[in-house]
Amino acid sequence: MSGSGRRVLVVAHTGRHDAREAATTLLMQLTVAGVGVRLLDEEAALLFDGRPTDPPPEEIVAAGPESAAGCELVVVIGGDGTILRGAELARPAAVPLLGVNLGHVGFLAEAEFADLDHTVDCIVHRRWQVEQRLTVEAVVLSDGSVVHRCWALNEASVEKASRQRILEVVVEVDGRPLSRWGGDGMVCATPTGSTAYAFSAGGPVVWPEVAALLVVPLSAHALFARPMVVSPRSTVAVELIADSAGSGVLWCDGRRTYELPPGARVEVRAADQPVLLARLHQAPFTDRLVRKFGLPVTGWRGRAR
C-alpha cells in the first residue's frame, strides 16, 4: 500500500496503444506522488504487454462490484464505451468516476489525453468536484413476475431482435396507456444519455441538472411518434404485444442485454443510486456542448458590458 493510503482504480481501453501509453504514464506519475494504483487483472497484462513495470501497480483485483472499494477515484482512459464500463465498477462503491477522453466526442469524459499531466496534478492534489448523475432501473416482468433487473447511466432501450420484423409495443406512463407503436423499439434515457442513443434517435438535448426522463420512439410508424420528456418520478412501461411477430431485447447502456419473452413488460424508473462524476472544470454545459459537437458560434457578441 502507498504510504498515504490513497489509491485509485485505473480502467483503460486495452486495445488502443494511446490508452496503454496513458495508463503507463498515469501509473508512474501517481505512484511517484504517493497515490497507489489499482488495476483489473483482466487488463494488467494487456496494458503492459506482459512486461513488469517500474513502479508496479499497488494492487491487481478481479473485475466486479468490489473492484473500486476503498478507492477515492475510478480513472477511465478511453471513449464513452470504456467510461460506461468504468461506471459499472464505480457505482456500486459510490466512488467518483473521472474519464480521460480518447474517443471522438466523449461527452462523459472530463479530461483530454493531451492534458494528462494536468489531470494527474488534479488527482494528486484532490482538485475535483463531484457531480451526481441520474441513473435508471429497468425491471422486466413476465406473467406478472420479475425475471430481470438492470440499470443504466445513459439509457435502457427495448429494441426488436430481428431486422426483418418490427416490434409492436404499447407504452404506459404512470399507470396509464399512452400509445401503441410499431417500429424498431423505444429508448428511455436520462439527461446524461440525451446526447447518446436518444440524440441519434431524434431526442432533445437535456442539460444534466434537469431532473427528467426521456421517452424516444425508434423509427415508429405512427403520426404521434415524437420524443417526450416526463417527470423523474414517473414510471415508463413498455409492453410487448403478445401476438406480435417480432421479438424484443432489452439493452442497458448498449452493454448489458436481456432477451425479452413474448408479452414481456419492461418498467423503467429513476434508480436510487446515482453515478458520481469527478469534475475538474466548472465550464457550463453549453460550452461543453459547443466544444464536443463543434457548434458554430461565430458572430456571438454576448451581453453588452
Q: Which residues form the catalytic set?
A: 80
Q: String of b and e for 267-283 (b: at least 16 CB within 10 Å)?
A: bbbbbeebbbbbbbeee
Helix (H, G, I), strand (E, B) or coil at 126: coil
DSSP-assigned beta bridge partners for residue 61: 40
The Cα 161–Cα 173 span in angstroms is: 24
- Mind giving me the DSSP string for 216-237? EEES--SS----EEE-TT-EEE
* Residue 69: other Cβ atoms inside 10 A: 15
Nearest to 158 by CA among 36, 84, 266, 60: 266
Backbone angles phi and psi of 105, in degrees to 5:
-100, -55
The Cα 296–Cα 77 span in angstroms is: 28
The Cα 96–Cα 151 span in angstroms is: 17
Residue position matching grid coordinates 486495452: 14
Q: How far is CA 60 from CA 23, 38, 41, 63, in A?
A: 14, 6, 5, 10
H or E segment and range at residue 83 = helix 80-93
The Cα 176–Cα 214 span in angstroms is: 17
